[in-house]
Amino acid sequence: MACPGEAGSLERTFLATLNDVSGWQIDGKTLTLLDEQGASRARLEAVHLY
């Protein structure tokens, strides 16, 4: 982990969120990570880099 300051905090929060994920759903270009109750924990959107 080489992320200083706020970037490191964001990384830790994201990794902690991943621990709560027990399922996922794909809708078009969006991946939604879900917890055990089916609540959204994170949404990630595919973006094409040109």
Q: Tens of pLDDT along 11-31?
A: 899 999 999 999 999 999 999
Cα distance between residue 9 and residue 5, in whole Å: 7
Ranges assigned E (strand) in the chain: 23-27, 30-34, 40-45
- CA dist., res. 25 & res. 33, Å (int): 7
Average per-residue pLDDT for the chain: 90
Q: What is the pLDDT of residue 2?
A: 57
Between residues 5 and 40, the one the model is more confident about:
40
pLDDT at 50: 87
Q: Check whether 45 has a pLDDT greater than 80.
A: yes
